[in-house]
């Protein structure tokens, strides 16, 4: 090999060693730096090593908080009288199949359920009356206040078992208060819309010290 070729070969070897060394050092520096900026997509990613990654203005919001529950014995609830309507039609549409009212209805008797027969364009509906909420949990010895709100249905006769019976019309609010002395279940029911317009108050036993 001539002297010229030998020099060219040595220069190429030295240049290759320099490039490899530079890449290795750059990789090491990048691994130690937990912040990377990508100017092309304007995105910043940081703190990737600990499972906490920030991307741009998006932050992992998964946070566990310790919360101390209220120890108050004053319990207040607002109970709405509502109905749920399932509306349909005898004729099929592009998004819904045709439906007919049941020929032999198995709906329980009482005013809690109602079927509206098809009108001149085939519309009909099924209605179910209910309380919202229909389940309440309190503790033995709590002072409980219930506000009943007449939202849907023109007239209700509501009974809170062992507490009060009253009429409630649309737009009215009737309030009852009581203190449950023992654990168990207290039922509230609308006597105009049985059997499904029923709610329950679960009274938990007082905690022993």
pLDDT tens digits, one per residue of 61-108: 788 999 998 889 999 999 999 999 999 999 998 898 999 988 877 888
Q: How many domains does the chain have?
A: 2
183 part of a folded domain: yes
Residues spanned by the domain of 20: 1-36
Rounded CA separation 57/55 (Å): 6
Does one domain contain both 23 and 79? no
According to the model, what pLDDT value does residue 156 have?
A: 98
| Residue partners of 190: CB distance under 8 A and separation at least 6 | 81, 112, 129, 131, 156, 157, 158, 197, 198
Apex 10 CA angle, 2 and 3, nearest 5: 15
The encoded tokens of residue 16 equal: 């290759």
pLDDT over 70 for what percent of the chain?
70
pLDDT tens digits, one per residue of 9-54: 555 555 555 544 544 444 444 444 444 444 444 444 444 444 555 5
Does one domain contain both 18 and 80? no
Does one domain contain both 11 and 111? no
- pTM exceeds cut of 0.85: no
The encoded tokens of residue 153 equal: 């249905």
181 part of a folded domain: yes
20 part of a folded domain: yes
């Amino acid at each position: 090999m001539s002297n010229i070729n030998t020099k060219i070969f040595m220069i190429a070897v030295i240049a290759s060693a320099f490039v490899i060394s530079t890449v290795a050092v750059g990789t090491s520096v990048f691994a130690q730096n937990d912040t990377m900026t990508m100017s092309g997509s304007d995105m910043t990613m940081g703190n990737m090593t600990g499972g906490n990654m920030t991307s741009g203005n998006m932050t992992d919001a998964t946070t566990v908080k310790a919360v101390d529950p209220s120890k108050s014995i004053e319990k207040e609830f607002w109970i709405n009288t509502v109905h749920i309507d399932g509306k349909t039609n005898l004729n099929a549409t592009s998004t819904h199949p045709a439906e007919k009212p049941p020929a032999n209805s198995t709906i329980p008797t009482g005013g809690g359920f109602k079927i509206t027969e098809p009108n001149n364009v085939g519309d009909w509906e099924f209605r179910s009356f209910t309380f919202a909420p229909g389940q309440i949990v309190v503790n033995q010895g709590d002072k409980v206040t219930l506000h009943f709100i007449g939202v849907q249905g023109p007239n209700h006769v509501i009974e809170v078992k062992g507490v009060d019976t009253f009429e409630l019309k649309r737009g009215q609010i009737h309030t009852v208060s009581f203190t449950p002395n023992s654990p168990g279940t207290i039922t509230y029911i609308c006597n105009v819309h049985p059997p499904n317009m029923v709610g329950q108050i679960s009274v938990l036993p007082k905690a022993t010290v």
